[in-house]
Amino acid sequence: MNTKIISTTILALLFVANIYGQDTYQTFTSAGFKVKCGCKLYVNTTFISMAKQQGMNNIIAAYICAENEDNPDIGVIHNINIYDESKSYKNIQPSGYAYFEKKYLEQYATNLKNSGIAYTYTTYQGVSAIEYTFDQQGLPTKAIIFLKNKKSYLIQVGTRKNLSTKFSSLKSSFAIL
């Protein structure tokens, strides 16, 4: 009987911690960021593996998680990827960093345009960024990409309900350490 009560209490505490944990920051010191998210982010090993197979060796971090994954109507996918761009800066004087970053975003915008994806330039985290919306395998998705501290950051949210609100929430809670 005591074991049942203890087990039930532990489950209840875990449930409550999970609900309230959604309003606290998840900190990823090795990746250099923290964020509030409605689910527990974990390393996206599938993405990292596929990217490395395609010759991308500059991935610092790739995190993903899903809320309500059993219900496609209200499910939410959160995705954060960080890339080391320092090799691209290697032969550039610090005075040329802003120009390089501008050209980087212009090339990204060209790729979006060539894929039929509309985008807007914005300012995020004090730097220029590109925000865009697209369908990812039928899932409406919003994303933002920006460069800071010789790294590129991609933050995405995919959901069928309240996409703009959920994206804004993730974006506004993202902080570089």
With 0-12 / 13-18 / 19 or more C-beta atoms within 10 angstroms meaning exposed / middle / buried, residue 20 is: exposed
- CA 88, 92, 97, 101 dihedral sign is negative
SS3 76: strand
Q: For residue range 2-55, what is the model confidence (pLDDT) as tens digits?
A: 444 444 334 333 344 444 445 689 999 999 999 999 999 999 999 999 999 999
pLDDT tens sequence across 80-106: 999 999 999 998 999 999 999 999 999
* Predicted TM-score of the model (pTM): 0.84
